[in-house]
Structure 1
Amino acid sequence: MPSKYRPQIFGWFGDLDKGPRLVPLHDDRLSYANNNYCAFIRKIPSDQVFYLCIYIIAVILLCSAVVILSILSILSILTYLCNPILETNMFLAALSGVILCFIAMYFVIPEIYHNLFSRRGSPIIFNRKTGKVYVNESDFFNFKFLRHPAVFLQPKKRRIKEYDWDDLHGVIIHNMSRNALTSTVLMVCQPGTHQVIDHIMLDPIRAGAGSTFVWGWINSFMFFCDVANIDDGEYKSDQETEFKAHRIDGQGWPEWMVEAFNATSQAELAEIKQRHHVKQ
C-alpha cells in the first residue's frame, strides 16, 4: 500500500504510526532528556567524517571525468574532417558525459556542505508538555531535488523552526541498495491533512529492514510512557548544563527557543515568546 502522505517521498518504504511503544531504546543518538524535553542527535561524528570523505572522493572523480571528457570533445572537433560520423558520435557521447557529471555534482556538492557544516550532532528537540519540536540545522538536510545554484554559496545557511508534534509523521525510506540501509524521516504536514510541506531527517542511515527504536522511544516520551527512561541518554537528566554547553551553545539557537525547551505549558511558552518579541 502506498504512503498516505502527498507528495510521497522518494525511496518510501513504509509509514509509521504514532503512539507509545513498549520497546526500550538501544541507541546512542539520545543526547539528553528531562521531564520536559528530549534531544536526539542526527549526525554521529564517525558517520559525518565517513560520508564527507566519500562525497569529496566523488567530486574529485567527477571533476577528473569532466576534464577527460572535455578533452575528448575538443579532439573530436579537431579531427572531424577525417571521419565525420565517428567523430560526431564521439563528441555527442563526451558531451553527454560532461552534462551527466555536472548533474551529479549538483547533488554531491550540497552533501559535502551538509556534512562539513553540521556540527555537534544537529540535535532535534521534542517538548512533550507543549507539543513543540525545535530544529536548527543546515538547509541541506532538506530533500530538495532542485536547488538554486546560489545555494552553493551559502553553506552555513540555517533553518531554525518550531513545529507542532501533531503535524509531524514518521516515514521509513531506503536507499535502494542491497545493503538495505534505511532512514526515518518526519513528514511535516499541513494541520489536519496529509499534505506534506516539509521534511525533517530524524534518524539517518540504518542497516536492516527499518529499525525504529528512535521513533518508538520519542513516541513513548511524547505520550508520557514509562518505557522512555529519561536517563538513557548521553547526559543524565540532572546534567542539562553540560548538555547545552556541548550541543547547544554557539550553534545559533535563538535565546527564546532555548528557554522554550523547558516550557511546561502553552501559557508559559506564549509568555516566553511575548517577552522575546517572537511573532506567533
Structure 2
Amino acid sequence: MPSKYRPQIFGWFGDLDKGPRLVPLHDDRLSYANNTYCAFIRQDHNDQIFYGCLCFFCVICGCVAIIGCLWLLLHHDNSKIEFIDMVVILGFITCCAAMYYVIPQLYHYLFSRYGSPIIFNRKTGKVYVNESYFFNFKFLHHPSVFLQPKKRRIKEYDWDDLHGVIIHNMSRNALSSTVLMVCQPGTHQVIDHIMLDPMRAGAGSTFVWGWINSFMVHYKSANI
C-alpha cells in the first residue's frame, strides 16, 4: 500500500499514525524538555566529525581528479580526438557532478550548529526547525548558496500539519529513518520534508516519534 502523502518520498517504507504511545523514551537525542517544549538534536556530534572528515577527503580527491583531467585535456594532441580523450572528458564531467554533491555535504557537517535541533512547543502547537541550507532532501542547489556555507534558517510549522513516515536505506543493515512530511492544512499534499530521526536499526526509529506524540498531548508516558 503506497503512502497517502503526495508526492511520495524516495525510500518510503510506511506511514506513521499520530497519537500517544505507552513506550517511554531513552534517547540521547532529547537535549532538553520542560512543561512547555522539548528539543531534539538531529545530528550526532561523533557522526558529524566522521562524515565531515570523509567529505573533506572526497573533496580533496575530487579537486585532484579535476585538475588532473584539465591537465590531460590541455596537453593532448588537438589535431585529433582519441578514445582516451573521451574518457578524460567523461571523467571530468563525473568529477564535477560529484563535487556539486559533496561540497554541500561538507558544508553541512562543518557548519551545522548544536545538532540542527528541532523544537516542539505543546502550548502553542508550533514546531521550530533549525537547520543549515544543506540539511534537506534537495540535490540541486542554487550556485549562490556555495558562497554562504554558514547560512542557516529556522522554519516554523504547525504540529497538526506534520505527519511521520518511515524511509529505509535499501541495504542489508536495515537502517530506517523518521521523516516529517509537512502538508498543506487539511490535505495530504506535501510542501516540505524534515528529517526527524536519522538512521536507526529496525523499529527503533519510531520511539522518538511516539514520545513526541505523547509529549504534545501531555500523555503520561512522556514523563520529563
Same fold (TM over 0.5): yes
Q: Which residue number corresponds to residue 108 of structure 1?
A: 102
Separation in 2, partners of 1:175, 1:70: 35
Aligned with 1:78: secondary structure?
coil
Which structure 1 residue ranges, 5 or more long, are not aligned? 231-280
Query: Which of residues 180, 196, 200 in structure 1 aligns to 2:194?
Result: 200
Separation in 2, partners of 1:12, 1:59: 30
1 or 2, which has the higher helix percentage?
A: 1
Q: Which residue number corresponds to residue 24 of structure 2?
A: 24
Which structure 2 residue ranges, 5 or more long, are not aligned? none
User: Normalization by structure 1: what TM-score?
Assistant: 0.74
Give the drift of 1:73: 3.4
Amino acid at match of 1:156: K
Aligned length: 224
Separation in 2, partners of 1:72, 1:210: 50
User: Normalization by structure 2: what TM-score?
Assistant: 0.92
Q: Which residue number corresponds to residue 42 of structure 1?
A: 42
> Greater CA radius of gyration, 1 or 2?
1
Separation in 1, partners of 2:157, 2:148: 24
RMSD: 1.8
Give the drift of 1:194: 1.1
Q: 1:25 to 1:210 in 2, by over 3 A?
A: closer
Q: Per-residue displacement from partner, 1:69-122 (whole Å, max 9, x unpaired)?
A: 3344345x41765xx5xx1x2222221111111111111111111111112222
Tell whether the 8 Å contact from 1:172 to 1:210 is kept in structure 2 after alignment. Answer: no
Amino acid at match of 1:51: Y
Where do 4+ consecutive residues of structure 1 move more than 6 Å?
Answer: none
Aligned with 2:109: secondary structure?
helix
Separation in 2, partners of 1:120, 1:12: 28
Tell whether the 8 Å contact from 1:43 to 1:122 is kept in structure 2 after alignment. Answer: yes
Tell whether the 8 Å contact from 1:73 to 1:90 is kept in structure 2 after alignment. Answer: no
Separation in 1, partners of 2:128, 2:22: 25
Separation in 2, partners of 1:191, 1:46: 37
Amino acid at match of 1:206: R
Tell whether the 8 Å contact from 1:170 to 1:186 is kept in structure 2 after alignment. Answer: yes
Separation in 1, partners of 2:170, 2:99: 20
Tell whether the 8 Å contact from 1:135 to 1:162 is kept in structure 2 after alignment. Answer: yes
Amino acid at match of 2:168: H
Identity of aligned residues (%): 75
